[in-house]
Copies of this chain bind each other. A is one copy, B any other.
Amino acid sequence: MIEIDGDRLWHTLMRSAEIGPGVAGGLRRLALTPEDKAVRDQLRAWGEEGGFPVTVDKAGNIFLRLEGQTDGPPVLVGSHLDTQVTGGRFDGILGVLAGLEIIRTLKDRGHVPRRPVEVVDWTNEEGARFSPPMMSAAAFAGVETLDWLHDRRDDDGVRLVDALEAIGYRGEADVGKPVDAYFELHIEQGPELHETGTIVGIVTGGYASHGATVRFHGETAHTGPTPMARRRNALVAAAYAGAAVNEIGLAFAPIGKATVSRIVAWPNKPGILSSFAELTVDVRHEDAAAAEEMRRQAMAAIDEAATRARVDREITSTWRFGDEVFDPDCIALLRDAASALGVSSRDIKSQAGHDAYYMSRVAPTAMLFSPCVDGITHNEAEDVPREATIAAANVFANAVLARADRP
């Protein structure tokens, strides 16, 4: 067994927490902004100081490498350094910096693992600047193309590839390569571990999640004289759909969740009916069949909303994740490490999206959760218990090492 340097891990987390501060103690570090560049530069500096060669691929994903005894595919460990607009200091960040701490510890101990270990920071996991979330892991896993990725645009119309160029992180390496396994440590983002006083969650899988971007096309007209029966207000369709989606979430609670997270309309001004509206919708449930039923109901509600508002509707993108099955061997390594270290654990399913889902399509993958105070996340008040977090990182480190060192 190895033991990481918990103080050093905490120090790197606190250093990261200085880069791109929010207004309430958290972070506002959107993908490919100057703040994201600053934390990427810090990660690269840590890599260079530690003697870990740094590679950047064409999607801007950053890799720090600890060489192994053999030159085979690396064990990949990581998560993301970008945050939501009102982001926390640990969401994603813990996964990258725990990875850094693992290779630092191995190097300090002079332990050369059988296989290389690489740490990855995935570009734009949050989807807060460029939609959809987890796009770089999707491209790495071959689910999406690099051209598609480069062509994503933020709300100001800036293309992702130009944003990469602007901060100097359009790398040379191809996106995607063989990896031996993928491990991700993440805060739970729910209250279960914290409320039950459990140190780690062995993630056995995820909630089945379906998302869609829906567009409504109507017609501009005057808000006054235009008869109700002639109106084609796209914003009204979005409102009906948003209300209906929330009702579906309430009907499937407490396990199911349904969310409308974004409405954009145009012209969206007083005095005029909107000819365009776009809605982002997602539904999630632990049971895949129930999630599918929620998806079906949401789509029916969207159609009904369009009909009632007399507008056309278009589904411009859909995504699904969470029902991928993580690798039993990798899960066993996490369970064994927790057991060997005497750290309390429980099986848990993730309700959030993670890069690990896409990685599970191309490599044996597992995730470990650490506690999140009161389950608060995507909020600047996000916090973690320090000692439990370090204990979780130790469990994680030993599982990663067991994988890298296996015969």
Residues of A within 8 A of B (CB): 84-86, 126-128, 131-133, 188-190, 207, 209, 211, 219-229, 233, 235-236, 238-243, 246, 249-250, 253-254, 256-275, 280, 282, 284, 309, 350-353, 375-380
* Contact B189–A224 (Cβ < 8 Å): yes
A196 to chain B, nearest CB (A): 15
> Among the listed B133, B228, B376, B378, which residue makes an inter-chain contact with A254, where contact means beta carbons less than 8 Å apart?
B228
By the criterion CB–CB under 8 Å, are B225 and A188 in contact?
Answer: yes
Residue of B nearest to A322 (CB): B224
Instruction: Give, as a whole number of angstroms, the nearest-CB distance from A359 to chain B.
Output: 18
A270 touches B207 (CB 8 A): no
Contact A133 B271 (CB under 8 A): yes
Residue of B nearest to A236 (CB): B246
- Do residues B269 and A222 form an inter-chain contact, with CB atoms below 8 A? no
Q: How far is the CB of A183 from chain B (nearest CB, A)?
A: 21
A-B interface, 3 closest residue pairs, ranked by CB to CB distance from nearest? A239-B242, A190-B225, A85-B267
Selected from B240, B254, B260, B378, the residue in CB contact (under 8 A) with A235 is B260
8 contacts between A and B (CB under 8 A): A84-B272, A221-B377, A221-B378, A224-B257, A235-B242, A235-B260, A239-B260, A262-B269
Quick check: A272 and B221 within 8 Å, CB to CB?
A: no
Which residues of B have CB within 8 Å of A266? Answer: 85
Choice from B223, B259, B268 contacting A223 with Cβ under 8 Å = B259
Docked pose: A221 CA to B239 CA in angstroms: 21
* Chain B neighbourhood of A189, CB < 8 A: 222, 224-225
**A209-B224, A225-B189, A229-B253 are contacts. A379–B271 as well, Cβ < 8 Å?**
no
- Nearest-neighbor residue (CB-CB) of A222 within chain B: B378
Residues of B within 8 A of A250 (CB): 228
Given known contacts A235-B242, A243-B240, A220 and B270 CB-to-CB distance under 8 angstroms: no
> What distance in Å separates the Cβ of A213 from its nearest Cβ neighbour in chain B?
8
Q: How far is the CA of A275 from the CA of B235 in the complex (A)?
A: 20
